[in-house]
């Protein structure tokens, strides 16, 4: 689709010029054929774009890889919920079953995460969660587990800056009240409650209008200094010295 957008302007200019020339020569517009108005390269591009559009109208694959285990729980859950990427589906899924790297997608990692509106990391345990911190640095909002080091740190920031608790969904949109672009889910409560909390956070994010989304993205990236190495190095040194004291 990107190729189509980039090349369509060239093809349109070619059509305009050749159409103008033919009409000036006295040829009737009803007698003109497309292959007379564009060159061979443009015709090949048009046919290729047409085929790509036909493919898009069909169901797109769910995963980027061939998964030998057909009992993969993620694929099973997608099937059970009819998330099969039909053309009529409002929700499309792209399951990339590996850590993101330059060979996974034709984009730089930071550009990829910057293109997302929301990242969700509901891990049951993680020492810190650098992926969540990287998202915040480029302005992408995050839902993170309190069971991660990053989530615990953000929980402390929330308590210091606001009066609301991490488990409370307010009547006003939570993302408009959020200064650091991070919402935290408690993974110690009942599983169904966890699911509902994450779903509520995602829905509230979707309800933001364009201006609020832009404002939130700018606010998140501007306030991301709290994860900058110039700040975190102090805690790293403190932890290192504490470990050395216990060891020796």
**Domain-by-domain residue ranges, the chain?**
2-57, 61-98, 104-237
Residue 169: predicted pLDDT:
42
Q: Give me the tens of pLDDT residue by residue for the chain, a chain 248 residues long.
A: 556 666 677 788 888 888 888 788 877 766 677 777 878 888 887 777 777 666 665 667 888 888 888 789 999 999 999 998 888 888 889 999 988 877 778 888 889 999 999 999 999 988 888 899 999 999 999 999 999 999 999 988 877 654 444 444 444 788 887 889 999 999 999 999 999 999 999 999 999 999 999 999 999 999 898 888 888 899 889 989 998 888 66
Q: CA-CA distance, 223 to 232, in Å (whole number)?
A: 14
Residue 73: predicted pLDDT:
92
Contact 143, 180 (CB under 8 A): no
Q: 145 forms bridges with which residues in the sheet?
A: 185
Contact 133, 227 (CB under 8 A): yes
Residue 163: predicted pLDDT:
42
Residue 102: predicted pLDDT:
73
Contact 187, 145 (CB under 8 A): yes
> N- to C-terminal Cα distance for the chain?
61
Within the chain, strands assigned E span: 118-121, 141-145, 182-185
**CA contacts within 13 A on the Cβ side of 216:** 24
Residue 31: predicted pLDDT:
67
Residue 32: predicted pLDDT:
73
Residue 122: predicted pLDDT:
94
**CA contacts within 13 A on the Cβ side of 118:** 18
Q: 143 forms bridges with which residues in the sheet?
A: 120, 183
CATH superfamily of 104-237: Glycogen Phosphorylase B; (3.40.50.2000)
Would you tell me how many other CB atoms lie within 10 Å of the CB of residue 16? 11
Residue 164: predicted pLDDT:
44
Q: 118 forms bridges with which residues in the sheet?
A: 141
Q: 182 forms bridges with which residues in the sheet?
A: 142
Sheet holding 118-121, edge to edge: 118-121, 141-145, 182-185
């Amino acid at each position: 689709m990107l190729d189509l957008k980039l090349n369509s302007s060239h093809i349109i200019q070619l059509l305009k010029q050749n159409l103008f020339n033919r009409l000036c020569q006295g040829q009737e517009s009803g007698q003109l054929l497309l292959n007379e108005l564009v060159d061979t390269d443009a015709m090949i591009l048009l046919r290729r774009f047409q085929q790509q559009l036909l493919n898009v109208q069909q169901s797109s694959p769910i995963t980027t890889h061939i998964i030998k285990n057909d009992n993969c729980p993620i694929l099973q859950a997608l099937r059970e919920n009819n998330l099969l990427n039909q053309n009529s589906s409002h929700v499309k899924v792209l399951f990339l079953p590996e850590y993101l790297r330059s060979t996974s997608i034709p984009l730089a990692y930071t550009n990829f995460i910057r293109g997302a509106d929301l990242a969700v990391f509901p891990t049951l345990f993680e020492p810190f969660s650098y992926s969540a911190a990287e998202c915040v640095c480029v302005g992408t909002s995050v839902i993170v587990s309190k069971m991660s080091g990053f989530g615990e740190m953000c929980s402390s920031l929330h308590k210091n800056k606001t009066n609301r608790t991490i488990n409370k969904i307010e009547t006003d949109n939570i993302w408009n009240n959020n200064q650091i672009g991070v919402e935290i889910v408690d993974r110690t409560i009942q599983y169904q409650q966890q699911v509902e909390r994450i779903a509520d956070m995602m829905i509230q994010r979707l309800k933001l209008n364009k201006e609020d989304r832009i404002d939130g993205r700018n606010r998140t990236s501007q306030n991301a200094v709290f994860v900058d190495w110039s700040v975190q190095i102090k805690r790293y040194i403190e932890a290192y010295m504490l470990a050395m004291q216990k060891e020796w």
